[in-house]
Amino acid sequence: MYTLSTDLVNIKPMKFSKKSEYGLRALIELTKHYGHPITRQQIADRQNVPVVFLEQILLSLKHAGLLGSTRGVQGGYALIKPPAKVTLGQVIRILDGPLAPIACVSKTAYQKCLDCPYAKKAYCPLQDVMGGVRNAIADILDNYSLEDFISGVRRSRRSPVRRVTAGRYVEN
């Protein structure tokens, strides 16, 4: 049992990297200026992101086909895919990799657990729960587009919230 004074204060939240946070903040600016280039310095200033780190992020997004760049006085970076076609899940996967909390439940970068006592068994309780966590995260992030993100639209998830009881999902 947790006690508020000691246990809950020391719990660290699961979180995405600064790279994803800054990348999403940069994409807010790029989405607002869709179709027109904006300089990395303008993005950095408006979103309070270190410009050197921002350059690495923008290059990753460019190599993934989300951004284009132009040189010169009127140049900069621009979102080249329609904001409605780019999901937050895609962006985070580009910048941070798989959404799965453990490798054996990843749909994009699966790795077998070599040290797990359940690796050779038909059922793994950890995989069952962590697969649900991965699915819940993906269900939210893959259903929010950049357009939704900047407009403040709150999307309802496709599937109802569920909890795991004795290895089975139960509707809440």
- CB count in 10 Å sphere of residue 54: 20
The whole-model pTM stands at 0.76
- Token pair for 40: 């990395």
**Bridge partners, residue 168, by sequence:** 165
Q: Along the 172 residues of the chain, how does pLDDT read in single tens digits?
A: 445 545 555 555 556 799 999 999 999 999 999 989 999 999 999 999 999 999 999 999 999 999 999 998 878 999 999 999 999 999 999 999 888 777 777 777 777 777 878 777 777 777 788 888 888 989 999 999 999 988 876 655 444 444 444 444 444 4
- End-to-end CA gap in the chain: 23
Q: Tell me the C-alpha distance between 60 and 45, whole Å.
A: 20
- pLDDT score for 11: 55
pLDDT value for 24: 95
CB contact at 8 A, 38 and 70: no
Residue (of 71, 92, 68) closest to 80 by Cα position: 68
The reported pLDDT for the residue numbered 9 is: 52
Specify the pLDDT at position 160: 41
Instruction: Identify the CA nearest to 39 among candidates 7, 71, 13.
Output: 71
pLDDT for the residue 6: 52
Helix or strand holding residue 54 (H, E): helix 51-63
The secondary element (H helix, E strand) that includes residue 128 is helix 125-141
> What pLDDT, on the 0 to 100 scale, is given for residue 106?
77
Which conformational region is residue 156 in: left (phi greater than 0), alpha (psi within -120 to 50 degrees), or beta?
beta
Residues in CB range of 56: below 8 A, 6 or more apart: 19
Residue type, 102: I
